[in-house]
Amino acid sequence: MERLVFRRLFCHLFTCNLIWFLSALMLCEAQVVTQDVREPLNTPASLSCSLQNPQEVLIVTWQKIKAVSPENMITFSENHGVVVQPAYKDKINITQLGLMNSTITFWNTTLEDEGCYKCLFNTFGSGKISGVACLTLSVQPTVFLHYKFSEDHLNITCSANARPAPVISWKVSGSGIENSTEILSHPNGTTSVTSILQVKDPKSQVGKEVICQVLYLGTVTNYRETVNKGFWFSVPLLLSIVSLVILLVLISILLYWKRRRNQDRGNHTLVRSGHEVEVEIRGWVERKAAGLCFNTSRGPTAPSRMIWHFLMLRTSPKEKKHTKVKVFSI
């Protein structure tokens, strides 16, 4: 009986002590008012702690909560003022100097600054009273909405880059539409979400409005685009166009060649018996029969009763030379 009474008394005292400890802990936490903050990345950000019940505070300490143990960042006291740890110099400062209210400010937030921070009020007689404030960094969405016609389908792409990652949905009418989504994380902490609609019947969407809905931090923003008439083509049509262009080029070359040939035939010189003329010749030259008229650039023409002799019989195929020609009568 005595052992039973002792056990009950021990359990009662242990339970009371546990309840008192938890109540005291909750009371200490409740005495400090904090507020979580969300700020844009690469901008200043501030966290505040306020001690509600009047206490004799000796020193205020800010710590960054880490997986292993909290890391001291900065302290404030009436005797020593503001003391910043070396790792946080030029990054933060206490912008509200007080023992009951304290505010720290990050001059330019980076990804490493995101997390939760503890403010400790070291009091005389009551020990440490703490509160926790969390900093979340964000990047506003950058959205691109565009479409592109292909051979037999239409691609509509909506891409959003933000921090935290956005969510993309569509408002589009019609059938035969397939959706695919790609998610890509970047080193700067942002996430790109790309959603692509593939419409099998492009003409069914011409003149219609497509809406890309981007959900970001609980807010939905609509981005609209009207599909205008595009240019549809097929591979056979493209090959036909290319073939037609090549044919026109060949015809143009042929006509140009014929025109130059006719001009060369018309460009001749009348030579009389016993006269010397200077002729530009090219290639291998031999004695040939010539007519009364011959082309200065193409050599002798139709046969006649005149014979002409070349003094210079041979030249290089690519070399141009002038040769004296003597014309004799038969």
196-215 pLDDT, tens per residue?
999 888 777 788 889 999 99
Label residue 328 by pLDDT band (50, 70, 90).
Answer: very low
Range of lowest pLDDT (54-63, 174-183, 192-201, 223-232): 223-232
Q: Is the pLDDT of residue 13 over 70?
A: no
The pLDDT, as a whole number, for residue 264 is 64
For residue 161, count CB atoms less than 10 angstroms from its CB and return exposed for 0-12, middle for 13-18, buried for 19 or more.
buried
3-state SS string for 314-326: ECCCCCCEEEEEE
Cβ neighbours of residue 116 closer than 8 Å, sequence gap 6 or more: 64, 65, 132, 133, 134, 135
Q: What residues pair up with 139 in beta bridges, in sequence order?
A: 163
Does the structure show a pLDDT above 80 at 157?
A: yes
Architecture of domain 150-226: Sandwich (2.60)
pLDDT bin (cut points 50, 70, 90) of residue 66 is: very high
Same fold, 2-138 and 150-226: yes
265 phi/psi in degrees, rounded to 5? -65, -35
Q: What is the pLDDT of residues 277-308, one digit of tens each?
A: 444 444 434 434 344 344 444 444 444 334 44
Give the separation between CA 29 and CA 27, rounded to whole angstroms: 5
The DSSP annotation for 193-241 comes to EEEEEEES-GGGGTT-EEEEEEEETTEEEEEEEE--------HHHHHHH
User: Above 90 in pLDDT, residue 315?
Assistant: no
- Tokens representing 103 are 């505010």
Is the pLDDT confidence value at 270 over 70? Answer: no
Q: Is the pLDDT of residue 259 over 50?
A: yes
The third-level CATH classification (topology) of the domain covering 2-138 is Immunoglobulin-like (2.60.40)
Mean pLDDT of the chain: 77
Give DSSP secondary structure letters for 72-135: EEEEEETTTEEEE-GGGTTTEEEEE--SSEEEEEESS--GGG-EEEEEEEEETTTEEEEEEEEE
Lowest mean pLDDT among 4-8, 51-55, 143-147, 149-153: 4-8
Domain boundaries, the chain: 2-138, 150-226, 233-266, 269-329
Structure confidence at residue 202 (pLDDT) = 79
Can you tell me the mean pLDDT for 24-39? 73
